[in-house]
């Protein structure tokens, strides 16, 4: 039997959906305002996963250029039907509810068709769509009826529960008005619906309780995709709330038959640290856990922590960027110049900073709780550096140029800087995430960021330490996670080398 690592996919990879096709598994996750959008991981054993591509790799597939922070690609469902991969998703506050297709999950994927209301006046309004077909080929789109548009208070949008429509995929138009389905046990935010036919019965799996500590998974059963559905006596099937489990916020799951014929559930969760386990540095990650069946109902085991060994990645920029690189509201290829200088990634400043919605920034997800990144940069023609970003308001930077190195913390409107002179144009910038030192008391933190630099031919200089709790999902109230990358704010900055290593001990 394969080792079931947890996290299954490290770092910012929330809202997982999985499908098995001829012994191969394909897993999709949310990306919000980052591009390329909607990564696709592939595995044959549920142990080793490879990032094979993304759904949104071209301008226009996702309309995230102007979405507010936290908008964009929300909660995909990936399925395979009649030889074609299908993926439905809500581009929240962007294009709307979308349907993508591909013959190869690695891509290319279609441009994305809007799923229209029955009267054709606009897209179906809701989030977290699921797509399923019955034996007659009728297509059902089931979704969470969160109304994001027209709300009097954007922090209190209307929620219509779990809804469903039959859809004609030839026209991408609903064939009826939405109907309400079973919406859980009464907890807030029923969402993430998935439909399955198992042994002649239909099951409706949903998340409820919110995507924070109250998150959970519940299930109902009915005679058809349209119901009526009756909830399981074992609900909620999954919840870590009020438990000492090291993985919290478990919910938003998808079921699949695993490589050994046993059922599995992929779901999101967080790994909080501190004395009160209050701060989740990496945001929502993908986990997996076994599923068993009895008397026509599934039971989902609590998620067990089983981290992978540490990793190390080195990049020297002698070819195209790999799939791990992302940018904010635009594609990395729009700002990563790999042609003008040999074995270097050159960033050309355009007047933006990391406080702007579309910075000149390309990065990779922080994958480990203990993590160290070094970027060697040439700032002879500009100013830029290395940063860890949650969003525009929460970030930590170490920046070089103009004869100075500056460490900077921007935390929800609070700003602090530390500077030192720099006598060279080529410098290694260091951004390390480490466990806090012992002796900080019962209430501690998630980690400490250590910011430093090594001038060309010199010794490492420690410039600042910043409490990592301020870049956690609980403090930032973010749907994403830490992304560490390089950026430019003036002139041209050449990145000569990138190295990242970490572990979860």
Contact 84, 94 (CB under 8 A): no
How many Cβ atoms from other residues are within 10 Å of residue 190's Cβ?
26
Exposure class string for 244-255: b at 16+ Cβ within 10 A, else e: ebbbbbbbbbbb
Q: Containing H/E element for 464? A: strand 461-467
Q: Pick the catalytic residue from 128, 130, 191, 397.
A: 191
Give the C-alpha separation, 204 to 144, whole Å. 12
Whole-number Cα distances in Å, 29 to 78, 210, 231, 271, 469: 9, 18, 27, 18, 25
Q: Pick the catalytic residue from 15, 125, 285, 474.
A: 15
Contact 441, 466 (CB under 8 A): no
The helix/strand/coil state of 455 is strand
Give the C-alpha separation, 167 to 177, whole Å. 10
Give the C-alpha separation, 7 to 271, whole Å. 9
Give the C-alpha separation, 26 to 385, whole Å. 35
Give the C-alpha separation, 62 to 71, whole Å. 11
How many Cβ atoms from other residues are within 10 Å of residue 341's Cβ?
15
Mark whether 15 is an active-site residue.
yes
Contact 98, 112 (CB under 8 A): yes
List the catalytic residues: 15, 191
């Amino acid at each position: 039997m394969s080792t079931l690592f947890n996290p299954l996919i490290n770092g910012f990879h929330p809202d997982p959906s999985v499908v098995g096709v001829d012994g191969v598994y394909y897993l999709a996750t949310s990306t919000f305002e980052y591009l390329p959008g909607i990564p696709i991981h592939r595995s044959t054993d549920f142990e080793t996963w490879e990032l094979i591509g993304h759904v949104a790799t071209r301008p226009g597939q996702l309309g995230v250029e102007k979405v507010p922070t936290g908008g964009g690609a929300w909660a995909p469902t990936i399925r395979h039907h009649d030889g074609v991969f299908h993926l439905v998703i809500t581009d929240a506050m962007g294009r709307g509810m979308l349907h993508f297709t591909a013959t190869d999950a690695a891509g290319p994927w279609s441009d994305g068709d809007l799923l229209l209301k029955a009267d054709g006046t606009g897209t179906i309004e809701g989030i977290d769509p699921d797509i399923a077909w019955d034996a007659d080929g009728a297509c059902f789109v089931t979704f969470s009826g969160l109304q994001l548009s027209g709300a009097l208070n954007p922090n209190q949008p209307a929620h219509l529960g779990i809804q469903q429509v039959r859809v004609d995929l030839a026209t991408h138009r609903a064939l009826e008005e939405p109907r309400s389905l079973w919406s859980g046990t009464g907890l807030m935010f029923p969402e993430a619906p998935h439909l399955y036919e198992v042994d002649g019965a239909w099951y409706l799996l949903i998340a409820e309780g919110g995507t924070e500590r109250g998150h959970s998974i519940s299930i109902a059963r009915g005679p058809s995709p349209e119901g009526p559905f009756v909830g399981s006596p074992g609900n909620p099937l999954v919840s870590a709330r009020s438990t000492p489990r090291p993985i919290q916020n478990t919910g938003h799951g998808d079921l699949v038959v695993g490589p050994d014929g046993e059922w599995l559930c992929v779901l999101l969760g967080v790994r909080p640290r501190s004395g009160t386990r209050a701060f989740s540095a990496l945001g929502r990650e993908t986990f997996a856990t076994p599923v068993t069946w009895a008397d026509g109902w599934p039971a989902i085991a609590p998620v067990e922590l089983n981290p992978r060994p540490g990793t190390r990645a080195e990049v020297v920029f002698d070819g195209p960027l790999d799939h791990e690189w992302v940018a904010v509201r635009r594609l990395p290829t729009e700002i990563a110049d790999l042609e003008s200088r040999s074995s270097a990634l050159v960033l050309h400043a355009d007047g933006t900073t990391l406080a702007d919605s579309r910075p000149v920034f390309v990065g990779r997800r922080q994958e480990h709780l203990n993590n160290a990144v070094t970027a060697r940069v040439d700032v002879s023609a500009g100013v830029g550096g290395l940063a860890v970003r949650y969003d525009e308001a929460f970030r930590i930077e170490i920046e070089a140029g103009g004869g100075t190195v500056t460490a900077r913390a921007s935390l929800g409107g609070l700003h602090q800087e530390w500077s030192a002179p720099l006598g060279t144009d080529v410098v290694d910038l260091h951004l390390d995430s480490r466990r806090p030192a012992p002796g900080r008391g019962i209430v501690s933190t998630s980690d400490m960021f250590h910011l430093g630099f090594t001038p060309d031919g010199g010794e490492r200089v420690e410039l600042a330490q910043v409490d990592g709790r301020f870049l956690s999902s609980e403090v930032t109230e973010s749907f994403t996670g830490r992304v560490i990358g390089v950026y430019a704010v003036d002139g041209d900055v050449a990145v000569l080398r990138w190295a990242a290593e970490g572990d979860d001990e």
